[in-house]
């Protein structure tokens, strides 16, 4: 979609690619909508340059200056004025990925710099990294200077080298979920459990600072526990034994073997269709998807309200603005 919008491919090639993609088992029609949003964001970004930027898609970048045998793929690189922008499209809707000092994006930006510096030299002064997660409504941007990025690259060289040689220190963190040893790694287990022990030593009530730490550590602990559970189940299913644990059959719910035949049988037995079927409208989101956002807004937009959401805890770095309880208390007063 983005390549089509930027005239990097012809409509016929785009249609053929979509036709092929639709035969893939993972295809979902929602992908067209998210690709459209991604393309729109890129278009807005391109328009923000004073002069038309150079734009390229799906570029392999060489990271071997920093990580032995390292490489990566940049979804989109824009280069214009004095700025290099790299954008990463993420289709997942699990966790919003932060762009701020994101090491993967910084590495890709270093790879992109290596690619374009021979042509553009020191005219590239600023770096912008963007992470677009349309399914989460998350679009994160982070800036630094080329100088800062290069200095960071130098600082990680020895660490990457050590890790590559197998001499690095284990450091557990949110990144563990992407590691093949997630849930199996002793260093990760030690660091997770010691975080809990630190709190257990203190018998008083938690202070606000400790609550902040507990919320962060607790989240990591819960993710680690889930990974250990998955690993334990995998081992038990392979026939290995784990003291005090076994595999049982999970809860299951009844389902029709043939729903149509069952309903026909009930109708034949004299039950009215009104007893068997509910007639309910599609949800707002389903209708918007079926009709198209613009037409939907034109015809039905006046009937849509968005009530204030319930207060929910979020990290200070969350892009949503802070909940204003006073505004909510007085919301219904003229
Ligand atoms: S699971 Fe272990 S090896 Fe993997 S990133 Fe975490 S600490 Fe490092």
| Residues with C-beta less than 6 Å from any ligand 1 atom | 170-172, 175-176, 179, 181-182, 185, 187-188
Torsion-angle region of 183 (φ positive above 0: left; ψ -120 to 50: alpha; else: beta): left
Is residue 292 predicted with pLDDT exceeding 60?
A: yes
209 and 73 part of one domain: no
What's residue 331's pLDDT?
54
pLDDT tier at 332, thresholds 50, 70, 90:
low
39 and 81 part of one domain: yes
Among 57-61, 147-151, 199-203, the range scoring the smallest mean pLDDT is 199-203
Report yes or no on 306 lying in a domain: no
Among 161-170, 216-225, 240-249, the range scoring the smallest mean pLDDT is 161-170
Which of 182, 189, 193, 194 should be mutated for ligand 1, with most atoms under 8 A from CB? Answer: 182
Average pLDDT over residues 121-132: 93
Quote the ligand 1 centre to 329 CA distance (angstroms).
46
What's residue 330's pLDDT?
57
Domain boundary among 143, 165, 187: 165
Domain boundary among 237, 255, 281: 237
159 and 202 part of one domain: no
Q: CB–CB of 78/124 below 8 Å?
A: no
Q: What is the pLDDT of residues 303-327, one digit of tens each?
A: 999 888 888 998 887 778 888 766 5
Q: CB–CB of 138/116 below 8 Å?
A: no
Question: Which position has the higher pLDDT, 32 or 245?
Answer: 245
Q: What is the pLDDT of residues 22-37, one digit of tens each?
A: 888 788 888 888 889 9
86 and 45 part of one domain: yes
What's residue 13's pLDDT?
87
What's residue 11's pLDDT?
87
**For the CA of 185, the nearest atom of ligand 1:** 2
Is residue 9 predicted with pLDDT exceeding 90?
A: no
Report yes or no on 272 lying in a domain: no
% residues pLDDT > 90 (the chain): 49
Average pLDDT over residues 226-239: 94
Which of 179, 183, 193, 227 should be mutated for ligand 1, with most atoms under 8 A from CB? Answer: 179
Report yes or no on 267 lying in a domain: no
12 and 159 part of one domain: yes
Report yes or no on 224 lying in a domain: yes
**For the CA of 182, the nearest atom of ligand 1:** 1
Is residue 55 predicted with pLDDT exceeding 90?
A: yes
Which residues form the domain of 10? 2-165
**For the CA of 173, the nearest atom of ligand 1:** 6
What's residue 204's pLDDT?
77
Q: Can you give the pTM of this predicted structure?
A: 0.59
What's residue 62's pLDDT?
93
Report yes or no on 286 lying in a domain: no
Which of 168, 185, 186, 191 should be mutated for ligand 1, with most atoms under 8 A from CB? Answer: 185
Quote the ligand 1 centre to 223 CA distance (angstroms).
13
Q: How many Cβ atoms sit within 10 Å of the Cβ of residue 89? A: 19
Is residue 329 predicted with pLDDT exceeding 70?
A: no
Quote the ligand 1 centre to 166 CA distance (angstroms).
12
Report yes or no on 304 lying in a domain: no
**For the CA of 180, the nearest atom of ligand 1:** 4
Domains: count for the chain: 2
């Amino acid at each position: 979609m983005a390549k089509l919008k930027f005239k990097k491919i012809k409509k016929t090639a785009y249609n053929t690619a979509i036709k092929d993609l639709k035969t893939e088992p993972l295809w979902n029609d929602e992908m067209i909508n998210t690709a459209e949003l991604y393309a729109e964001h890129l278009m807005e970004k391109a328009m923000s340059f004073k002069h038309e930027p150079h734009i390229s898609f799906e570029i392999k970048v060489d990271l071997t200056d920093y990580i032995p045998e390292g490489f990566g793929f940049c979804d989109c690189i824009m280069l214009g004025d004095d700025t290099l922008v790299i954008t990463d499209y993420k289709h997942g809707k699990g966790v919003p990925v932060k762009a701020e000092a994101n090491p993967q994006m910084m590495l890709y930006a270093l790879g992109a710099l290596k690619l374009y510096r021979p042509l553009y030299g020191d005219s590239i002064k600023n770096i912008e990294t963007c992470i677009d997660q349309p399914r989460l409504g998350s679009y994160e941007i982070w800036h630094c200077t080329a100088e800062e990025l290069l200095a960071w690259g130098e600082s990680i060289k020895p660490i990457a080298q050590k890790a590559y040689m197998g001499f690095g220190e284990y450091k557990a963190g949110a990144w563990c979920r992407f590691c093949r040893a997630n849930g199996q790694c002793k260093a990760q287990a030690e660091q997770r459990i010691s975080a809990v022990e630190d709190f257990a030593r203190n018998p008083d009530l938690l202070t606000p600072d400790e609550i902040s730490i507990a919320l962060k550590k607790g989240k990591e602990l819960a993710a680690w526990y889930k990974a250990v559970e998955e690993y334990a189940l995998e081992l038990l299913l392979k026939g290995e034994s784990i003291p005090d644990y076994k595999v049982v059959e999970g809860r299951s719910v009844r389902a029709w073997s043939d729903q149509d035949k069952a309903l026909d049988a009930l109708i034949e037995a004299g039950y009215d269709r009104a007893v068997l079927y509910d007639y309910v409208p599609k949800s707002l989101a389903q209708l918007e998807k079926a009709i198209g956002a613009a037409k939907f807004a034109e015809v039905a937009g006046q009937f849509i309200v968005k009530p204030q959401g319930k207060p929910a805890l979020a990290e200070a770095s969350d892009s949503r603005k802070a909940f204003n309880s006073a505004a909510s208390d007085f919301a219904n007063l003229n």
